[in-house]
Amino acid sequence: MATKVVMEALSPTMEEGRLVEWKKQEGEPVAVGDVLAEVETDKAVMELVARAGGTLLKHIVEAGSTVPVSEPVAVIGEPGEDGGGDGNRGSKVNGQRGGGGGKTPAPAEAQGTQPAPDRNQPTSMPPAPPAQAATESRAASARPAATVSPPAAAVAQAGGRVKASPLARRIAAERGVDLGGVSGTGPEGRIVARDLEEAGAGAQPGAVLPLPTSRRGPPAPGAEQSYTDVPLTQIRKTIARRLAQSIGPIPTFYLTSEVDMERAWEARESLRAATEANVSFNDIIIKAVAMALRQHPACNAWWQDDHIRYWNDVHVSMAVAVEEGLITPVIRNTDQKVLREIAAESKDLAARARERRLKPEEYTGGTFSVSNLGMLDIDEFTAVINPPEAGILAVGRIVQKPVAENGQVVLRRRMRLTMSCDHRVIDGATGAQFLQTLKGMLENPLALVW
**CATH assignment of the domain containing 94:** 2.40.50.100
Looking at residue 188, its pLDDT comes to 64
Please give the positions annotated as active site: 423
Specify whether 329 is located in the same domain as 424: yes
Residue 331, domain CATH = 3.30.559.10
420 versus 214: the higher-pLDDT residue is: 420
Average of per-residue pLDDT across 429-447: 95
Residue 53 has pLDDT above 50, yes or no: yes
Residue 2 has pLDDT above 70, yes or no: yes
Specify whether 341 is located in the same domain as 414: yes
Residue 118 has pLDDT above 50, yes or no: no
Residue 239 has pLDDT above 60, yes or no: yes
Looking at residue 325, its pLDDT comes to 81
119 versus 433: the higher-pLDDT residue is: 433
* Residue 285 domain-assigned (yes or no): yes
193 versus 59: the higher-pLDDT residue is: 59
261 Cβ contact list (under 8 Å, min separation 6): 281, 398, 413, 414, 415, 442, 443
* Residue 220 domain-assigned (yes or no): no
* Residue 113 domain-assigned (yes or no): no
pLDDT over 90, % of the chain = 43
The string of DSSP letters for 292-345 reads: HHHH-GGGSEEE-SSSEEEPSS--EEE-EEETTEEE--EETTGGGS-HHHHHHH
With bands split at pLDDT 50, 70 and 90, how would you rate the model's confidence at 81? confident
Specify whether 46 is located in the same domain as 185: no
* Residue 361 domain-assigned (yes or no): yes
Query: Could you tell me the residue range of the domain that residue 22 belongs to?
Result: 3-102
Residue 193 has pLDDT above 90, yes or no: no
Element (H or E) spanning 405, and its range? strand 391-405
Average of per-residue pLDDT across 417-429: 95
Asked if 269 and 358 touch (Cβ cutoff 8 Å), the reply is no
Average of per-residue pLDDT across 177-194: 74
Q: Which of 73, 102, 131 is the last residue of a domain?
A: 102
Return the amino acid letter for 344: A
Q: What digits encode the pLDDT tens for the residues 315-341?
A: 999 999 887 788 999 999 999 999 999
Average of per-residue pLDDT across 63-88: 79
Specify whether 265 is located in the same domain as 378: yes
Specify whether 399 is located in the same domain as 292: yes
Specify whether 260 is located in the same domain as 304: yes
Looking at residue 134, its pLDDT comes to 35
Residue 210 has pLDDT above 80, yes or no: no
* Residue 243 domain-assigned (yes or no): yes
Q: Which of 57, 79, 102 is the last residue of a domain?
A: 102
Q: Residue 219 carries which DSSP code?
A: P
Asked if 41 and 325 touch (Cβ cutoff 8 Å), the reply is no
Residue 56 has pLDDT above 50, yes or no: yes
Using CA atoms, how far apart are residues 158 and 24, in angstroms rounded to an integer? 13
Specify whether 348 is located in the same domain as 428: yes
Looking at residue 207, its pLDDT comes to 36
Asked if 424 and 305 touch (Cβ cutoff 8 Å), the reply is no
Element (H or E) spanning 77, and its range? strand 72-77
Looking at residue 234, its pLDDT comes to 73
- Phi and psi for 147 in degrees, rounded to 5? -130, 175
- For residue 37, which of 51, 19, 54 has the smallest C-alpha distance? 19
Residue 130 has pLDDT above 60, yes or no: no
Element (H or E) spanning 21, and its range? strand 16-22
Return the amino acid letter for 183: S
* Residue 90 domain-assigned (yes or no): yes
- For residue 368, which of 349, 391, 348 has the smallest C-alpha distance? 391
Residue 42 has pLDDT above 80, yes or no: no
Looking at residue 111, its pLDDT comes to 37
Q: What digits encode the pLDDT tens for the residues 372-394?
A: 999 999 999 999 999 899 999 99
Among 49-63, 126-140, 244-258, 351-365, the range scoring the smallest mean pLDDT is 126-140
Return the amino acid letter for 321: A
Using CA atoms, how far apart are residues 165 and 356, in angstroms rounded to an integer? 9
96 versus 42: the higher-pLDDT residue is: 42
Looking at residue 200, its pLDDT comes to 53
3-state helix, strand, coil in the chain (%, to 5): 30, 25, 45
The alpha helices in 6-126, defined as continuous H runs, are 108-111
Specify whether 207 is located in the same domain as 239: no
Q: What digits encode the pLDDT tens for the residues 336-363?
A: 999 999 999 999 999 999 988 898 889 9
Specify whether 195 is located in the same domain as 241: no
Residue 149 has pLDDT above 50, yes or no: no
430 Cβ contact list (under 8 Å, min separation 6): 296, 298, 299, 421
Q: What digits encode the pLDDT tens for the residues 255-298?
A: 999 999 999 999 998 888 887 778 999 999 999 999 999 999 99
The pTM for the full model equals: 0.56
Specify whether 209 is located in the same domain as 241: no
Residue 194 has pLDDT above 80, yes or no: no
Q: Angle CA(447)–CA(335)–CA(364) in degrees, nearest 5?
A: 150
Using CA atoms, how far apart are residues 443 and 450, in angstroms rounded to an integer? 14
Residue 151 has pLDDT above 50, yes or no: no
- For residue 386, which of 424, 420, 352 has the smallest C-alpha distance? 420
The number of folded domains in the chain is 3
**What order do you get walking across the sheet with 29-30 strand by strand?**
29-30, 54-59, 72-77, 3-6, 92-93, 96-97
With bands split at pLDDT 50, 70 and 90, how would you rate the model's confidence at 161? low
Looking at residue 342, its pLDDT comes to 95
- Output the average pLDDT for the chain: 77
Using CA atoms, how far apart are residues 41 and 236, in angstroms rounded to an integer? 11
Q: What digits encode the pLDDT tens for the residues 220-238?
A: 444 466 667 777 777 777 7
* Residue 445 domain-assigned (yes or no): yes
Specify whether 92 is located in the same domain as 172: no
Specify whether 32 is located in the same domain as 96: yes
Three-class SS of 140-184: HHHCCCCECCCCCCCCECCCCCECECHHHHHHHHHHCCCHHHCCC
* Residue 130 domain-assigned (yes or no): no
